[in-house]
Amino acid sequence: MLSLEAIQKALQAVKYPGFSRDIVSFGLVKDISTANGAVSVTMQLTSPNPEAAQQIKTESERVLKNLPGVSHVHVEVKQPTAGQAATGSAFANQTKVPGVKRIVAVASGKGGVGKSTCAANLACALKHLGAKVGLLDCDIYGPSIPLMMGVYERPSVSADERLVPPVAHGVKVMSIGLLLNDDQPVIWRGPMINKTIHQFLLAVAWGNLDYLLVDLPPGTGDAQLSLCQTVPLDGGVIISTPQEASLGVVRKGIAMFRKVNVPILGLVENMSYFTTPAGERVEIFGHGGGQEEAARQKAPFLGEVPLFTEIREAGDRGTPIVVSAPNHPAGKAFIQIAQALRQKLD
């Protein structure tokens, strides 16, 4: 007997054209039925692009015909008209950023767990591993990336009127903090923020990037959700501290990504433990909570980052520890996590 699960699993091999994500994770498969070796699948695209539809149809038919026991395949791909698409679902409004291969969000269910620290260090670690990397600070109210990356110059404007991101430690950086004066509070409302983020993606001359990391503001509320919908994310990384892990904070982060069909690349446990100058390991917030929670949530565990004064100091100085001391245990921890992350994105 051909199960619906087997059919769905087969369709997971079909990527949305130009994206690293599959059509099932994007929520495009609306109906599957099967009887006597015949399979019928209905999909609803949110883009009016006829080439994408044809490619998805051909590829889906191919993988389904390869399933044992399948004798006949019917794939229907529905598309909105160009007019409908503009007002359609969230995904319709996502535009691929030209030249950028992978966009990854760094989020957590809670503030102050080290999202920005991890985003900055992972960006530098991916660069250290030889990738072309950008770092986009989506925290409009509390941008901390400029400080952590040590960038203060204003972006210049190119001949074709795009913002040119300054480069720090080999990483292209964009943040609202680079555009506003220090003491100017941001009092924008949601729509304005979304518009800014949109501009940050499409009106910034990112050039060719292997990875664009996106530092999200704290929390998993509506603001974060709509950001995840604005940005065509390839996946999300969740940062937690050991004690938060057990409090449902991780679950909230995972739920947020799942709501908008963004694959969870994994969980990072930050501030895992502290090593005293004498070498004694002290587990201030408990330990292993992240790994256990990741297992419970069936999400990959990417690694742990110890609590080190040097990490904070490096951040405050504008040179992430991965850059200032790649061989320090903290630098190594970030590089290992970047390696794990890169594997998930291949």
Which of 266, 274, 276 is closest to 298 using CA atoms? Answer: 266
Of the candidate residues 47, 196, 220, 270, the single one contacting ligand ATP (CB under 6 A): 270
| Residue 79 C-beta: closest distance to ligand ATP, Å | 39
The option from Mg ion, ligand ATP, none interacting with 271 (CB < 5 to 8 A, set by class) reads ligand ATP
Provide the terminal-to-terminal Cα distance of the chain, rounded to the nearest Å.
Answer: 33
- Report the distance separating Cα 64 and Cα 315, nearest Å: 50
Quote the tokens at residue 122: 């992972």
Site string for ligand ATP, 40-59 (x = CB under 6 A): --------------------
Per CB under 6 A, the segment of 74-82, 95-103, 305-313, 335-343 that binds ligand ATP is: 305-313
CB under 8 Å to 154, separation ≥6 — which residues?
A: 178, 179
Helix, strand, coil % over all residues of the chain, rounded to 5: 40, 25, 40
308 binds ligand ATP, rule: CB under 6 A:
yes
- State which residue, 112 or 248, has the beta carbon closest to Mg ion: 112
Site string for ligand ATP, 99-138 (x = CB under 6 A): ---------x--xxxxxxx---------------------
Question: Where do contacts with Mg ion occur on this chain (CB under 5 A)?
Answer: 115-116, 144
- State which residue, 117 or 230, has the beta carbon closest to ligand ATP: 117
CB 78 within 8 A of CB 44: yes
The option from Mg ion, ligand ATP, none interacting with 196 (CB < 5 to 8 A, set by class) reads none
- State which residue, 29 or 307, has the beta carbon closest to ligand ATP: 307
- State which residue, 56 or 118, has the beta carbon closest to Mg ion: 118
241 binds ligand ATP, rule: CB under 6 A:
no
- State which residue, 11 or 215, has the beta carbon closest to ligand ATP: 215
The option from Mg ion, ligand ATP, none interacting with 315 (CB < 5 to 8 A, set by class) reads ligand ATP
Per CB under 6 A, the segment of 84-92, 189-197, 285-293, 301-309 that binds ligand ATP is: 301-309
Site string for ligand ATP, 137-156 (x = CB under 6 A): --x--x-x------------
| Residue 58 C-beta: closest distance to ligand ATP, Å | 44
Polymer length in residues for the chain? 346
Sign of CA dihedral 177, 181, 186, 192: negative
- Taking CB positions, which residue lies at the least distance from Mg ion? 116
117: left (phi over 0), alpha (psi -120 to 50) or beta: alpha
For 296-300, the CB contacts below 8 A with 24+ separation are 297/250, 297/251, 297/254, 297/264, 297/267, 299/238, 299/254, 299/264, 299/266, 299/267, 300/264, 300/265, 300/266, 300/267, 300/340, 300/344
| Residue 68 C-beta: closest distance to ligand ATP, Å | 48
CB 305 within 8 A of CB 330: yes
- Report the distance separating Cα 143 and Cα 134, nearest Å: 16
- State which residue, 115 or 342, has the beta carbon closest to ligand ATP: 115
| Residue 115 C-beta: closest distance to Mg ion, Å | 5
Half-sphere exposure (CA, 13 Å, Cβ side) for 317?
Answer: 14
Question: How many other CB atoms are found less than 10 A from the CB of residue 184?
Answer: 9
Residues in the site for ligand ATP, rule: CB under 6 A? Answer: 108, 111-117, 139, 142, 144, 218, 270-271, 305, 307-308, 311-312, 315
